[in-house]
Structure formats: C-alpha cells, structure tokens
Amino acid sequence: MAWFSGRDTSGSGDDGDDAPIWESRGFVASAIVIGAVVVCLVVWLVVNGDSGAPSSRPSPSVTPTLGGTTDGPTGRPTEPPATPDPTTPTRTPSAPVNPDGTGGCRAKNPPQRIPREAPGAVSWQFETNMLIPLQAQGGPAVEDSRGLRSCFAHSPTGAVLAAMVTLGQIRNPELTEAVLRTRIAPGDGRNLALRTVRTSPTPRNTGQTSQFTGFKVVDYLPNRAIVSIAVRLDSQKVAGLPITLLWQNNDWKLVLQPDGSFNGEVAPDVLQSLEGYVRFGGA
C-alpha cells in the first residue's frame, strides 16, 4: 500500500508476490513516486529507475515571474537558486500574500476556465528539494508558523496549485502529519495514513530529486476536481499522477482512497510525452 499504488500493466510476471512494493518493477515503472517509506505507505519515495542510481541532471532552478503573466506554456526557469542541502528540509521565505487579502481562497469569482497554458505571475520555492508553485491570485494565500501552506482559489487553477503544493509539502518529514490532518479530506484513507505515520515517522529525503513538469485538468466541478500532475524523474522518465480534490471548508483538500493511496485502482501513467499536458514547472 502506497501513496500511489503501483501496478504493472505490461502483463509481465517477473515480480514475485513477496517483493516489497517499492522494489517491484511495476512500482518503479508505473508509480514513480517521491518521498519516504513508512511501513505500508510510501510518502513520495524518489525512484530513479530500476538501478536506483541517483540522477545526474543539474540542480533545479527558479523562475520568478511575479511581475506579469507567463509568455507561453513552457514555464522555463531563468534564474538559478541556491542548491538545497538534500539531507535537510529547507525553509524558504513566506510567499507574498495579496496585501488586500483577496487572493487564494479569499478570491471572489475566480476564473472558472480550464487552464490551457501555464498560470502567470508564479514564483517557485523549494520545499525540501522540490520546487512548489506560489501565486498571489490562485494561492496558497496562507502560511502558518510551521510553514504549512493553504487557502487556494475556488477554481481549476487553484485546484492545480493545491495539488502541487500539497504533494510537495507532504514529503517534508517535518510537515507530513500536519499535511495529513489539514490538507487531506477526512476519510478512511487519511485515518490509515495518520496511524501509519505516527508509528513510522517519515525518513528524510535521500538527495534524489524529482520535479513537477506539467498538469492536466481531467474533470472539474465546483465541489470536485480531478487533475493529473506530471512529475519529471530524470531526463527520460515522466509520470502522470492522478489526484482527486474536494472543495471543503473553503479550500481544496486532496483525497486519499481507502487503501491509503491517492489513485486507488487507477494506475499512474508513464508518459511518453507531455502531449495533452500544460507544461508547468520550476526546473
């Protein structure tokens, strides 16, 4: 059982039933999840292929675009940040919040169109060694004393930002339980995850890095959104991770299925290209 359930859809029987899920070929090829193993849950374990060798790709960089909208859907970085220490979770300065208090979940009548290009006026900041997007209009508009971010716009773009920020923060061992309590919708899956995290704290990141590279809004209703988040593992591997969100208590909350995973019976896609996805990433 894992945050993202791994299922090998190739029909191969090479993996034995007794192999741990995070070591199976199906998990490596299909799930490509990032984080830390906690008993029967995998909190975003970085899987860099069957060999387990760390990626040699350069350190990620940041694209601060607070001055205006993005010219295109590529979201290409232009300015390198300091490289984070891969063994220690890093804290970054607070995201700028609209001084008039109208951003994120406070926004009145936010645009309801499905985004077909990268959101503009976005800055990217490190959460541990993963870059997460921050936007004054779409959110997150609130950061508490622990660094936990919340308050996203009631819109398709707000749902995308909520998914990425929450996935980035849940892999920070100092925030995992707080994220489960406040950013995940109540249910059996959350209860299971909380029980497991309490007994097996999330290990620190091993230094391997994956980065968000795009998104696709699969379905959107005022009280529910389904988005697929594209995560680039290295120069060759990209996974599409399905996320369901519910609008609850004036914010987007991510849903864990009863087995404690985000996707349940829906296997993550190993993408051959980003066709159909909006390119969006800070690295």
Section 55-71 average pLDDT: 34
Quick one: pLDDT at residue 198?
86
Whole-angstrom distance, CA of residue 42 vs CA of residue 193: 10
Partners of 215 in beta bridges: 229, 278
For position 3, what pLDDT does the model report?
64
Q: Cis link prior to 140 (omega < 30° from 0)?
A: yes
Q: Which of 89, 97, 168 is nearest to 131 (CA)?
A: 168
More confident residue, 2 or 213: 213
Burial 248-275 (b: 16+ CB within 10 A, else e): eeebbbbbbbebbbbbbebbbbbbeebe
Question: Is pLDDT above 80 for 71?
Answer: no
The pLDDT of residue 9: 39
The answer on pLDDT for 126 being more than 90 is yes
Query: Comparing C-alpha atoms, which of 206, 214, 186 is closest to residue 277?
Result: 214
What pTM, to 2 d.p., does this model score? 0.71
What residue segments make up the domains of the chain, in order of their start? 59-279
Tell me the C-alpha distance between 224 and 228, whole Å: 14
Determine the Cα–Cα distance for residues 176 and 16; give it in Å rounded to an integer.
31
Given the DSSP bridges, would you call strands 224-232 and 238-248 parallel, antiparallel or unpaired?
Answer: antiparallel
CA 112, 118, 121, 124 dihedral sign is positive
Q: 46 versus 214: which is more confidently predicted?
A: 214
Q: What is the DSSP string of 121-187?
A: SEEEEEETTEEEEEETTTB--EE-TT--EE---SSHHHHHHHHHHHHHHHTSTTTHHHHHHHHB-SS
pLDDT in tens, 164-215: 999 999 999 999 999 999 999 999 999 999 998 888 766 665 556 789 999 9
CA distances for 117 relative to 51, 53, 214, angstroms: 35, 34, 10
What CA–CA distance (Å, rounded) separates 110 from 153? 7
* Amino acid at the residue 114: I
Measure Cα distances from 101 to 98, 231, 253 in Å: 5, 31, 21
Q: Rounded to whole angstroms, how far apart are CA atoms 119 and 281?
A: 10
Q: Is residue 264 very low, low, confident or very high in pLDDT (cuts 50, 70, 90)?
A: confident
The DSSP H or E segment spanning 188 is: helix 188-199
- Kindly state the tokens that stand for 281: 């990433």
CA–CA dist 173, 171 (Å, integer): 6
Identify whether the C-beta of residue 190 lies closer than 8 Å to the C-beta of residue 202: no
